[in-house]
Structure 1
Amino acid sequence: MFDKLKKKFSDIFSGNPHDTTEESNIVKNKSVNEDVKPEKTIKRDELENTIEETLLEADVSFDATEKIIRELKLNLGKLKRKVDYTTVESELKNVIRGIINNNNAGVIDILSVENKPFVILFLGINGTGKTTTIGKLAYYLKNHGKSVVLSASDTFRAGAIDQLAILAGNVGVEIIKHDFRSDPASVAFDAIDHARGKKDGLCPYRLSRKDADKQEPP
C-alpha cells in the first residue's frame, strides 16, 4: 500500500498542472528557466480530489481518507499565501504522520479487552508477509505474558500448514491445524474454541485470498 502511495504521490507532485488564474490555485514550483514565463498553477480542489482518489485506490479506509483530506484542507486554508506543490506535499505528510502518532496505542493495550479470546485475522494474497507477521506478533505477545494459539486456516496452499507449524514450534506457541484441503472455517472454529480455554486467549489465524472467497470468518 505504502509503495503504491509513494509512487502515485510522486507522480502527482512532479506533474504538469494546467494553466488557470483562480485565487484558490496552487502554484507549481518554478525552475530557473521559467522565471520569465507565466506561473503554472493547478486548482486546489482538483489536487485535493486527486489526493483523495489516490488514497482510496491504495486501500486506505474511507474514514481515514476523509480525515486526511479534511485536515489537509484545514491546514492549507490557514496559509495566507498561495502554496506550491512542496507545501502541499509537506502538509500532507504532516497530516498523515499526525494521524498515525495519535493512534499508536500499544498492541498489548489494544488486546487488553474483556472479550476472550481476541481473534486476529490475517488475510491477503500470497507473498504479502502474513505468516512472517504472525510469527513476529506471536513471539511478541508470548514475551508479554499472553497465551497464543495459531490457526493454520490456509489449507489450500502447498506447504502453508507445515510452514506455520514450524514457525509455531520455533516461537513456542500452540497451533491448531487440520489436513491439507480441509475446511478453513472449521480450522478457525476449532482454534478459537481451543483459545477460549486460555486465560489470555489470542488467536491469530491465516486465511488466503482463495479461502476467503469461499468462506466467511467464524
Structure 2
Amino acid sequence: MTDGNTGREAYPDEAGAPGSGRSAKMLGGGLAVALLAMIGAAGGWLLAGEDGASPGLPAAESGVSSSAAPSGVPSPTARTTAPTARTSGPTRSTGLTVPPVVGTDFEQARDELRDLRLSWRLVFGTESGRDVRRTVPPVGSPVQRGTTVALYVAGPAPSLRAPDLVGDDCADAAEDLVEEGLYPRYPTGRTGTVTAQSPKADSTVHWNDEVALTCGEEPDEPSAEAPPTP
C-alpha cells in the first residue's frame, strides 16, 4: 500500500529529512548577524552622542545665564563718576580792609583801627621813631570786624606815668588803662571798686605794660573812737 509519495521526498517536519539541519543553521546565523548589527548601531549612537558635546565648556552655574553676549556688541561701561565734594559757601565780604596806616604815628594808627571796630596789637622795635613800618594782615587785606591787626612800630615802647585808679569802678579803670596803652590784670576779679593797683599811681611804666587792679568791696574805715576800757 502506497501513500502516493513514490519518490520518498522528505517533509520538513520529519526527522532525518534532508536539508532540515542546513535550514536551521542558516536561520540561526541570520538572527545572530541581525543582533550584532543592532548592538553595533546602538553603540555607535552612544558614541556619537558623547562626541557631539562641546568639550571644555563648563556647566552653567546656578542662577547665572549661560547665553553669551552677541558678537560685535560692546558691553556697557560702568559709570564711575566721582561724587562732587561739597564745599561751604563763600564768605560774604563786608568790604572792610586794613586801612593804609603804614608811615603814620602808631597812636593815630591805633585810633583809626578802633574807629573801624578792629582790634590792634602794638609790636615795638629797636630803631627810632613812632611810625608804623608794616601791618599784619597787610594794608588793603579784606578783614572782618573784630580782627586783630598787628602794628609794627619802628622804635621802642615810649614811657609814661601810671594813672591813679584807686576808688574807680573796675570796668572804668580797665578802659582808662587801655586808652593809656596799658593792659589791665585782675588778681581778685573784675567787679567792684579798685581798692589797690600795682604799679602804684605816678610810677614809670611803658606802653604794653600790665597794671594789676585789685577790685572788690571797699574795706570799712576804722572807727576813730577808742575801744572802751574794761
The normalised TM-score by structure 2 is 0.21
Structure of larger gyration radius: 2
Greater relative contact order structure (CA < 8 Å, 6+ sep):
1
The normalised TM-score by structure 1 is 0.22
Structure with greater helix percent:
1
